[in-house]
Amino acid sequence: MAEENEFIFRGIRSSLLKKSPLQTIGEEQTQNPYTELLVLKAHHDIVRFLVRLDDCRFASAGDDGLVVIWNAQTGEKLLELNGHTQKITAITTIPSLEACEEKNQLILTASADRTVIISLNLEESEIAVLWNCDSGRQVQKISCFQSTVKCLTVLQRLDVWLSGGNDLCVWNRKLDLLCKTSHLSDTGISALIEIPKNCVVAAVGKELIIFRLVAPTEGSLEWDILEVKRLLDHQDNILSLANVNDLNFVTGSHVGELIIWNILDWTVQACERNFWDPSPQLDTQQEIKLCQKPNDISIHHFTWDEENVFAAVGRGLYVYNLQMKRVTACQKTAHDSVVLHVARLPDRQLISCSEDGSVRIWELREKPQLAAEPVPTGFFNMWGFGRVNKQASQPVKKQQENATSCLLELVGDLIGHSSSVEMFLYFEDHGLVTCSADHLIILWKNGERESGLRSLKLFQKLEENGDLHLAV
């Protein structure tokens, strides 16, 4: 918020009145339920990852190589796992096998120290065993990696997990390397998802590579992994990759290309392109130029529901309707800086967090009147930036006006972090957890609900103490 650098007490009002493209919300946020927050401190460096373990626990991991397990209700630190010497680059959990009686949830972490640690997510009583003996099945460390593992994926059906670095490796639960691909690229795999038919999609630079996993059969006892197809539709590095539903997966690139793929035959279903290259011949009917700088149109994260894909594009948020195959709502400058993570909440709400340190809650609403809507003008004001674009702007503008039938309205602004908010997790019952580059994790709580819970606890305790005398 550059304007606020000039903040003076007398001047605050005027600064707020300045024409700012960023939508702001006052302190009165009646629809924002998060009125209590709890600051959790354990990390000494940027906290990058949050992983949900169960209904009331989550793990955080950061550049300090620490993994900390927290109670989402009380904010209590349950465990601190330190095994990595460098920053953690990927974290995932391996759910316990259904057949297996013991509920051993494993946490898989990969680090820049080129190791992957698989650690048992233990109940407190077991910690001592684990960290005292520091051996055995409970903690295992693999360090035979040639490169940093950037992504981890668990294929639960096959009971294997994959690590993606410069190559793709397949492991089983016992940490045996089952098979691996050849060296793919120096930049390595940036994202990895599972798709049907024992396939995985890996994003390697601009390419999407489909691999097929061959499980051991009667014929061959060996695992194998085969490259099936390379998809070259993206113009720039692919930053995000996500499964949307049973039919589609979606990818987003650095220059704002959003492509919906058919999950079965790997064909392009729809494409929302934002070319940096201004060549007009590439303008297809669905192409939209969203922003002027490549950094401002890079697609960092997706979330989705049945109808829509919500994309974090640069500083903005876009709602792409899968049926209509077009953007139905957008908030071009949802944040001051790049949006890093988005997630959907119940009740058509959306949360986004950004490098500017803010976390915002949005609500998707039907637009009341298309004509009187001021949003598109704001949208196009910034839009006609380059001279060349002006030619293209007119037709797109018309289309855009028709397209944005919905509205993303800001309902809450969660201010707490002083630096980039990397990620967040939403718990139905406990609220929201955010992690940030300011080394902090903040637990945002619904004040009213918490108050009720405290009352409940209070009377429980009174009853335990035998102090509760109910009037007859």
Partner 1 sequence: MISAPDVVAFTKEDEYEEEPYNEPVLPEEYSVPLFPFSSQGANPWSKLSGAKFSRDFILISEFSEQVGPQPLLTIPNDTKVFGTFDLNYFSLRIMSVDYQASFVGHPPGSAYPKLNFVEDSKVVLGDSKEGAFAYVHHLTLYDLEARGFVRPFCMAYISADQHKIMQQFQELSAEFSKASEYLKTGNRKAFAVELEKKLKDLDYTRTVLHTETEIQKKANDKGFYSSQAIEKANELASVEKSIIEHQDLLKQIRSYPHRKLKGSDLCSGEMEHTQDQPDQAATASNSDECPDTDLYTCRPAYTPKLIKAKSTKCFDKKLKTLEELCDTDYFTKTLAQLSHIEHMFRGDLCYLLTSQIDRALLKQQHITNFLFEDFADVYDRVVEKQESILSKPVQDRLPCRSLEECPIPQVLISVGSYKSSVESVLIKMEQEFGGEDYKEVEVAELSSFDIQENLDYLDMDMKGSISSGESIEVLGTEKSSSVLSKSDSQASLMVPLSPQVIRSKAVSHRTISEDSIEVLSTCPSEALIPDDFKASYPSAINEESYADDSEEAIHFQASIDLTKMGEPEEGNLENTSSQADSCCIGKESDSLLVPLSTPVHTLSDEDGVVSIPPQRYRPKDQGFSMDFVVENANSSSRDNSSEGFPAYELDPSHLLASRDVSKTSLDNYSDTASYVSSVVSTSLDRTPSSAHPTGPSSERHKKRAGQNALKFIRQYPFAHPAIYSLLSGRTLVVLGEDEAIVRKLVTALSIFVPNYSHCAKPVKHWVSSPLHITDFQKWKLIGLQRVASPASVSTLHILSRYSRYTSILDLDNKTLRCPLYRGTLVPRLADHRTQIKRGSTYYLHVQSMLTQLCSKAFLYTFCHHLHLPAHSKEAEELAASRQARFLKLNLGLVNEDVKVVQYLAELLKLHYIRESPGTSQPMLRGESGTWTAVWAEAVETEAALPSPSAWRTGTCRKSLMHLHISVVGSPVHGG
Binding site for partner 1 (CB under 8 A): 1, 4-5, 7-10, 12-13, 26-30, 32-39, 41, 74-75, 413, 415-418, 438, 440, 442, 445, 447, 450-452, 454-459, 461-462, 468, 470-471
**CA-CA distance, 386 to 389, in Å (whole number)?**
5
Report the nearest approach of partner 1 to the CB of residue 270 (Å): 39
Q: Are 216 and 237 in contact (CB under 8 A)?
A: no
28 vs 98 by CB, closer to partner 1: 28
Report the nearest approach of partner 1 to the CB of residue 442 (Å): 7
78 vs 241 by CB, closer to partner 1: 78
207 vs 450 by CB, closer to partner 1: 450
**CA-CA distance, 304 to 157, in Å (whole number)?**
23
221 vs 471 by CB, closer to partner 1: 471
22 vs 271 by CB, closer to partner 1: 22
58 vs 379 by CB, closer to partner 1: 58
Report the nearest approach of partner 1 to the CB of residue 31 (Å): 8
Report the nearest approach of partner 1 to the CB of residue 255 (Å): 32
User: Which residue matches tokens 């407190």?
Assistant: 124
413 vs 422 by CB, closer to partner 1: 413
Q: Provide the b/e sequence for 361-391 (b: ≥16 CB within 10 Å).
A: bbbbeeeeeeeebebbebbbeebbeeeeeee
Report the nearest approach of partner 1 to the CB of residue 342 (Å): 22
* Alpha-carbon 446 to chain mean position: 22
- The pair of structure tokens assigned to 16 is 């707020």
* Alpha-carbon 451 to chain mean position: 30
Report the nearest approach of partner 1 to the CB of residue 427 (Å): 17
- The pair of structure tokens assigned to 60 is 């955080």
Report the nearest approach of partner 1 to the CB of residue 464 (Å): 11
Report the nearest approach of partner 1 to the CB of residue 171 (Å): 39
Burial (Cβ within 10 Å: 0-12, 13-18, ≥19) of residue 30: exposed
List the one residue out of 101, 98, 100 whose CA is nearest residue 156.
Answer: 98
List the one residue out of 6, 119, 15, 25 whose CA is nearest residue 66.
Answer: 119
Total Cβ atoms within 10 A of residue 262: 14
378 vs 447 by CB, closer to partner 1: 447
**CA-CA distance, 214 to 164, in Å (whole number)?**
17
Q: Are 301 and 314 in contact (CB under 8 A)?
A: no
How would you classify the pairing of strands 316-321 and 440-446?
unpaired
* Phi, psi dihedrals of residue 14, rounded to the nearest 5°: -65, -35
**CA-CA distance, 182 to 195, in Å (whole number)?**
21
38 vs 343 by CB, closer to partner 1: 38
Residue type, 195: I
Report the nearest approach of partner 1 to the CB of residue 470 (Å): 7
177 vs 468 by CB, closer to partner 1: 468
CA atoms within 13 A on the CB side of 306: 2
Give DSSP secondary structure letters for 126-195.
Answer: HHHHHHHH--TTSEEEE---SS---EEEEETTTTEEEEESSSEEEEETT--EEEE-----SS-EEEEEEE
Q: Are 91 and 67 in contact (CB under 8 A)?
A: yes
Report the nearest approach of partner 1 to the CB of residue 235 (Å): 37
Report the nearest approach of partner 1 to the CB of residue 471 (Å): 8
315 vs 445 by CB, closer to partner 1: 445
